[in-house]
A and B are shown apart, each in its own frame.
Chain A
Amino acid sequence: MNYTLLVNTMIDGLLAQIDWQPLFEDHGIPLAIMGFLVVFAALMFVRIFIGLLPRIMAVLGHYYPEQKETSLSPALHKPTADELPDEIMAVIAAVVADTIREPHRIVHTRELTPEDLSWTLEGRLQHHASHRIRPRDHR
């Protein structure tokens, strides 16, 4: 009951405050309509331009052929220091595909944690330990 009364009071308060006059001034409905039309017109022009883009590209491509984008091109994709080369990635992918032998999909990926990295660290330690240490020649 009190809740209804409160809501009614709030609505009455709002309605009492409503003033229709500003809507019909220059900065009212005319501005809203004009503003919406400008937004619509701008994006309509953008849409028309995007629609024409394939044709523009065809004309441009005729005179200035675009270099083909290939993700496997070594010139475009050079592995960084902490990234595996594409050849190694291809080998790993082939081994995974051969091992699983069933259709599958990736449902989760995550970054390596320090625990995961300890595997690599252990490999490095073993690798370093495998070298024979020779005394330096102090001649």
Chain B
Amino acid sequence: MNAIDYLSTKVGEFYQTTAFAELRIGNVVMIVIGMTFIYLAITRHYEPLLLVPIGFGVIVGNIPSVAGMALSVYDEGSVLRYLYFGVEKGIYPPLIFLGIGAMTDFSTMLSNPRLVLLGAAAQIGVFLTFLGALLLAFTPQEAGAIGIIGGADGPTAIFLSARLAPKLLGAIAIAAYSYMALVPVIQPPIMYLLTTRQERLIRMKPPRHVSRRERIIFPVVAFLICTLLAPGALVLIGMLFFGNLMKECTVTERLANTARTAMIDIVTILLGFCVGCSTSAQYFLTRPSILIFVLGAVSFAIATAGGVLFAKFMNLFVHDKINPLVGAAGVSAVPDSARVVQMVGQREDPHNHLLMHAMAPNVAGVLGSAIAAGVLWSQLAN
């Protein structure tokens, strides 16, 4: 009898040291969400490089901590806390921008400068969502961080929310990356709704050749223009153009190669995993998170519509017509939204290749969202 009592006491004690003791229904829901991300990444190829680290991070982040052990990203002194430092202090996003710069070819934008404006027009999503979030009683700082989801740029969203609304960082990052992964699902209906078949059939002139000298001068001068107007974008834009200069000047090929391969891969793994880990149910499954997801979807839709409608508006004044589908690529999300433009365009005309044209507003969208983040940061930080 005593032996049974002893054993049951020991089993009870052991149970208290397992994660089962603190496991709540919310954690189970989040673990299922994490598994869904991994499933979508593997079977549907929805942004696998991001959704696999994030999905696994969500699972890791929802294993409850045991009392007295520093395990989660929120526990001082835990290993995950140190890794999360790069997210919390906004270190990882600029490094990702360096890698993006080292792999971005601005030639398409340089060969067709009018398409730059489509990248600006799509940023309407950021600012209208900012107003929407204000309406729903978020503070201006939180509203700014939520609005940037419309920029469709994960690193920028993380960078800004780490600065303005650290408590919402997990929800904003997951919303931004989820919608980026869902670009092929969200954008086409809006593109069809706002364009006629004739507009979708418009063929654009092939881009001109851009010399190496132009490609070297551009990052330096564009950096000066952007950061003198919006100094808040200094870190993101600076790293982006620095990476691009390393690529284009050709004398730092080794550095550019490292930035666009090993370095961006390492930072992406750390960023995705840590963001996933920060989605512990008690912090993530809250009413503001649900509102953030709703506002994020609205933001994406407005940004897409803004780009398409502005392309139609430009067609009223220009001789060489722009295929309005290209405007949808203004929402950053490189290169997925450009791929969606190509896909939708080819459904109407299999010989109409819009990909290179769409890359112009796509990279302009990256600049636009970084500048928007800089403006919001500089205005709302205090």
A residues with CB within 8 A of B: 14, 17-20, 22-23, 27-29, 31-36, 38-47, 49-51, 53-54, 56-57, 60, 66, 69
Residues of A within 8 A of B130 (CB): 31-32, 35
B residues with CB within 8 A of A: 109-110, 113-114, 116-117, 119-121, 123-124, 126-128, 130-131, 134-137, 140, 211-214, 217-218, 221-222, 225-226, 229-230, 364, 367-368, 371-372, 375-376, 379-380
Report how far A66 CA is from B210 CA in the complex, Å: 13
Tell which of A33, A41, A51, A57 touches B113, judged by Cβ atoms closer than 8 Å. Answer: A51
Q: Is the CB of B379 within 8 A of A41?
A: no
B215's nearest neighbour on chain A, judged by CB, is A53
Q: A23-B134, A50-B109 are in contact. Are A43 and B217 (CB under 8 A)?
A: no
Q: Is the CB of B136 within 8 A of A38?
A: no
Tell which of B128, B230, B380 touches A27, judged by Cβ atoms closer than 8 Å. Answer: B380
In terms of DSSP, what is the predominant structure of the interface of chain A? helix
Q: What 5 A-B pairs have minimum CB-CB distances, sorted nearest first?
A: A50-B113, A27-B140, A43-B120, A32-B127, A47-B116
Q: Is the CB of B131 within 8 A of A66?
A: no
Report how far A34 CA is from B379 CA in the complex, Å: 10
Report how far A66 CA is from B211 CA in the complex, Å: 9
Tell which of B124, B126, B127, B226 touches A46, judged by Cβ atoms closer than 8 Å. Answer: B226
Of A22, A33, A40, A69, most buried by chain B (CB within 10 Å of CB) is A22
From residue B226, how far is it (CB to closest CB) to chain A in Å? Answer: 5
Q: Is the CB of B135 within 8 A of A46?
A: no
Q: Is the CB of A44 within 8 A of B376?
A: no
Residues of B within 8 A of A60 (CB): 213
Q: Is the CB of A46 within 8 A of B375?
A: no
Of A28, A46, A66, most buried by chain B (CB within 10 Å of CB) is A46
Tell which of B119, B135, B218, B376 touches A23, judged by Cβ atoms closer than 8 Å. Answer: B135
Q: Is the CB of A39 within 8 A of B368?
A: yes
29 A–B contacts from the bound complex (CB under 8 Å): A14-B136, A17-B137, A20-B135, A22-B134, A22-B137, A22-B140, A27-B380, A31-B130, A31-B140, A31-B376, A31-B379, A32-B130, A34-B379, A35-B375, A35-B379, A36-B123, A40-B120, A42-B225, A42-B229, A42-B367, A42-B371, A43-B117, A46-B113, A46-B367, A49-B221, A50-B110, A51-B113, A53-B214, A53-B218
Q: How many A-B residue pairs have CB under 8 A?
A: 118
Tell which of A27, A44, A54, A57 touches B120, judged by Cβ atoms closer than 8 Å. Answer: A44
Residues of A within 8 A of B368 (CB): 39, 42-43
Report how far A42 CA is from B231 CA in the complex, Å: 11
From residue A109, how far is it (CB to closest CB) to chain B in Å? Answer: 17
Residues of A within 8 A of B134 (CB): 22-23, 27-28
From residue A76, how far is it (CB to closest CB) to chain B in Å? Answer: 9
Report how far A34 CA is from B375 CA in the complex, Å: 9
Report how far A47 CA is from B363 CA in the complex, Å: 13
Q: Is the CB of B116 within 8 A of A46?
A: yes
Q: A35-B376, A50-B113, A50-B116 are in contact. Are A42 and B226 (CB under 8 A)?
A: yes
Residues of B within 8 A of A19 (CB): 135, 137
Q: Is the CB of B124 within 8 A of A36?
A: yes
From residue B253, how far is it (CB to closest CB) to chain A in Å? Answer: 12
From residue B225, how far is it (CB to closest CB) to chain A in Å? Answer: 5
Q: Is the CB of A69 within 8 A of B211?
A: yes
Residues of B within 8 A of A22 (CB): 134-135, 137, 140
Of B218, B225, B376, most buried by chain A (CB within 10 Å of CB) is B225
From residue B242, how far is it (CB to closest CB) to chain A in Å? Answer: 17
